Structure 1
Amino acid sequence: MKTKGLASAIVTAFAVPAALWLAAPAVAQPAVQARPAAMAASASTTPQAVAAHYAVLVHANYEDARQGAVALQKAIDTFAAAPSEAGLLAARKAWLQAREAYGQTEAFRFYGGPIDNDDGPEGRINAWPMDESYVDYVVDAPTAGIVNDRKVAITRKSLAALNERDGEENVATGWHAIEFLLWGQDLSETGPGNRSFEDFVDGKRPNADRRRQYLKVVTSLLVDDLGTLVKAWAPRQANYGAKFARGGNESLRKMLVGLGSLSRGELAGERLEVALASQDQEDEHSCFSDNTHRDAVTNAMGIQNVWLGRYVRTDGRVVEGPSLQALVAARNPQLAQRTTAQVAASVAATEGIQAPFDREIVGAKDAPGRLRVQKAIDSLTQQSKDLVEAAGAIGITRLTLVNPE
């Protein structure tokens, strides 16, 4: 199962000395303003307390992501009942809003937790890049895709089974399948895709009924998959979150594996570096909606959330508690402060990437957009080195990593 980062290239998760990690290639919320590391340090901050608070933070973030998906589902159900331009725009807005919370959850991956263990739903939720012709028509293939093959049943079971069948780019479910159905192909250099609402109107476009059904079913599946993650981390339950909270140093190791793998291997590497090298729109994360710049920001924010032990919920409530930052500060205040500053710099660098991302990555090496993307890559790369050093400061010297090719 694969997102782009685990799909095209990498799936190299293995135990290595921490030093080898350094060789591995990479409505908005405001970035969290970090407190000085020395202020965050506390004698009461223990590995157990940090792991237990992480479980609380993860649950809150997944709960927000699911609530965003439920709001998206309501918008899509309304649109499917009576397709209109206004309804389509409302559904697109709901998708963009829901992605803000989900993007921050990417920091909870890469260590075999509920999202991406052998039975985890990550491949159904966020797999990319996708061959859009696997789902619906494209400009050169007007009858392509599951939507236009009336022999294929459009059910939750069938779509889940078809996801990534016979190829990792055969993405049939998740955020990006929904994104493609809402926006269509991005054929513009200055904006996102511009699918007409009439694609969903009987008599205006062949198989409009199946297109409506597909959109509803795939969104329902997304809501339920996110619901399984909420349950896995729910407090006061005999679940993965409870086990993680008791995991001590092993849980800290997993937290740092997630941060390091997302920071260098996935975000800096697969999501930014690959696209910068290819200058190909097909290598950007949310290519149909032109939301890739926000994907980068929310991923960077997710790393910051875990490092600081602080998450700002969608409704503005703040979840805050014992953090990795505080643990490191108790051992090495200067290192904690330097890492905190670097993490904040990475958030700022991703915020500097302009939309549309597919225009940022093209041009000469010194083109302004390419320099902005490279700045984010460089910051995230340095951040990964600081995180390795921080791990060592609290006695974690062996990490399981995901490396890009």
Structure 2
Amino acid sequence: MSQINIKQLDAQSPEFDQQLKELLHTDLVVDHQVTTIVDDIIHRIKSEGDQALIALTGKLDRWTPDSVEALEITKQSQQEALARISTAEREALEKAAERVKSYHQHQLQDSWQYTEADGTVLGQKVTPLDRVGVYVPGGKASYPSSVLMNVMPAKVAGVEEVIMVVPTPDGDINDLVLAAAAISGVDRVFAIGGAQAVAALAYGTDLVPKVDKIVGPGNVFVASAKRAVFGQVAIDMIAGPSEILVICDGQTDPDWIAMDLFSQAEHDEMAQAILVSPDQAFLDAVKASIEKLLPTLSREKIVKISMESRGALIKCSDLDQAMDIANVIAAEHLELSVENPEQWLPKIRHAGAIFMGRYAAEALGDYCAGPNHVLPTSGTARFSSPLGVYDFQKRSSIIHCSADGASELGKVASVLARGEDLEAHARSAEYRIKK
């Protein structure tokens, strides 16, 4: 058994609201020194292009390519990596890719039009982005699942060209990441990472093509660079630490719940794992499971820091109050580990992904359930959604006026334009009014 000092809160306490606010607080302000470094890197890429990429790769990733062209990982290399991984790994990647593709096909949006009585046609044209950049962490933090989750919805959306960047510290290439790239149909892959990769995607170099949008997770330098280039290109989001909220009625195996909490706490020391239940005896049982199972984890130290600094066991009065707490937290991952979870779903307004019932472990969503694992964090589920096909499509309005329609609309536009003292607007509309 390993003693762990995890916060235990009571939702009935007068201090609970303040305690919860303090628990959820995350300082996402980027350090000034990081911003300065990132700004310098971006300036170098803009001014020096590929030569800066080579120099920064040598300095930051500790390997120097023989030529600029060596920064590109060929399709042949991707296929060789696919051949090197085990049969079980290949089959798992292929199965996960197929499930992610199938789910996201349901998100496809079509163009639409309708015709009014006077013949005016209004509508919306849906068009995929031309080129997208996908950032994939490399080195020790290698995530082939991130390749699938970021690339497959772009491909389903019809994006013409998907460019992937992945750092290769000390020249080490992760076969699973390259295999995932081959399976998901990435068009080009470059062995670059950090802020320099983001800048290359945003502004383009002779080697790396300029993209329209950058998606994918990364460290603080990557996040800062994405923030800096936003506006030059679109980005998916600025992600905070990973988080999970479990609501349980007390009837799920406490070992299961403890491991579900660990599944997010093991990401890093700032990850957050919270359990809410109306059953105090169950909360005590889960704490005992946490102490029993913690020493069995390879990432025990990370999990312990995460659970003690940002984790909590919260006692609520009933499941109705638990749902209210869930809407305040607006968690990235929400497990409804309760009987008949469907009855509680209408009460949930804010969550990135909702896992229904005792068997839907969050880890299944990370890899192969089908829905995207790129989710809003730090309470941003109040206004943000998971990454999806819609993030790789843009919409154009269609306005096709008949003569009669333009005449009637012109009368309305004329009045409003003159009310705004915009004469040219008014006269432009008035020219179309039938005499």
**TM-score, reference length from structure 2:** 0.29
* Higher strand content, 1 or 2: 2
Task: Decide which structure has greater helix share.
Answer: 1
The structure number with the bigger radius of gyration is 2
Q: TM-score, normalized by length of structure 1?
A: 0.30
